């Protein structure tokens, strides 16, 4: 079975919006687009490239897809697998785009993602896509969170755990701290929550 893996740049206060640049996603008046840039270093770059070079298909929300589609086809040197990956896009308005291979999902996104997980193929990587992630979490479809947690609070913006989640336990399978204080951690599902007596 394919896993759904959420990969996110996240601030200490849980913001995932506009990490890459000031014009990336300005909705809601976000003030600090490009907030990850001062924290780049070789340790984080190596960990990120390792993730980007794993076999994957993409599961993206429409807004993230629209931000990426003009950029990534022209930057294959930075991410060789991104153009060949199937891009599953959650959208009620888009039905075709030149950036291929792309499959557009509309209607009951959770049901469609559950079916895609059962098909043969590589894991499904979710980047950005804040609204889509909320849907995936509400329907217990996320198998792992690969997070890059930055030592910064942003005060406002789209948050990773905005609308609550299904209660679940996770185990840490990887953790790295970069020279700039970014904590890179992989959380994989570990069954039901257990409590003390």
Residue 29 covered by a domain: yes
Residue 195 covered by a domain: no
Residue 163 covered by a domain: yes
Whole-number Cα distances in Å, 124 to 5, 108, 176: 6, 18, 23
Question: Which residues span the domain enclosing 125?
Answer: 4-189
Residue 59 covered by a domain: yes
Residue 101 covered by a domain: yes
User: What CATH number is given to the structural domain containing 71?
Assistant: 3.40.430.10
pLDDT tens per residue across span 40-91: 999 999 999 999 999 999 999 999 999 999 999 999 899 989 999 999 999 9
State the pLDDT confidence band at 156, using cuts at 50, 70 and 90. Answer: very high
Whole-number Cα distances in Å, 157 to 24, 66, 67: 12, 19, 17
Tally of domains in the chain: 1
Residue 61 covered by a domain: yes
H or E element at residue 133: helix 130-138
Identify the pLDDT of residue 7: 98
Residue 22 covered by a domain: yes
Residue 197 covered by a domain: no
- Return the number of other C-beta atoms located less than 10 Å from residue 138's C-beta: 14
Query: Does 103 score more than 90 pLDDT?
Result: yes
Contact 63, 89 (CB under 8 A): no
Query: Does 21 score more than 80 pLDDT?
Result: yes
């Amino acid at each position: 079975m394919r896993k759904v893996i959420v990969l996110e740049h996240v601030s200490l206060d849980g913001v995932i919006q506009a990490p890459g640049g000031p014009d990336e996603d300005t909705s809601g008046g976000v003030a600090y687009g490009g907030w990850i840039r001062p924290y780049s270093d070789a340790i984080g770059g190596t960990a990120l490239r390792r993730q980007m070079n794993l076999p994957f298909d993409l599961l993206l929300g429409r807004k993230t897809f629209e931000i990426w589609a003009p950029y990534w086809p022209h930057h294959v040197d930075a991410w060789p697998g991104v153009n060949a990956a199937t891009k599953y896009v959650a959208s009620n308005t888009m039905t075709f785009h030149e950036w291929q291979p792309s499959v557009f999902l509309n209607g009951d996104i959770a049901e469609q993602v559950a079916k895609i997980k059962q098909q043969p193929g590589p894991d499904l990587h979710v980047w950005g896509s804040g609204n889509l992630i909320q849907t995936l979490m509400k329907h217990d479809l996320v198998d792992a969170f690969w997070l890059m947690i930055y030592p910064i609070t942003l005060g406002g913006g789209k948050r990773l755990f905005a609308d609550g989640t299904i209660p679940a336990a996770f185990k840490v399978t990887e953790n790295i701290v970069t020279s700039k204080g970014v904590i890179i951690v992989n959380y994989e599902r570990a069954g039901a929550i257990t409590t003390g007596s």
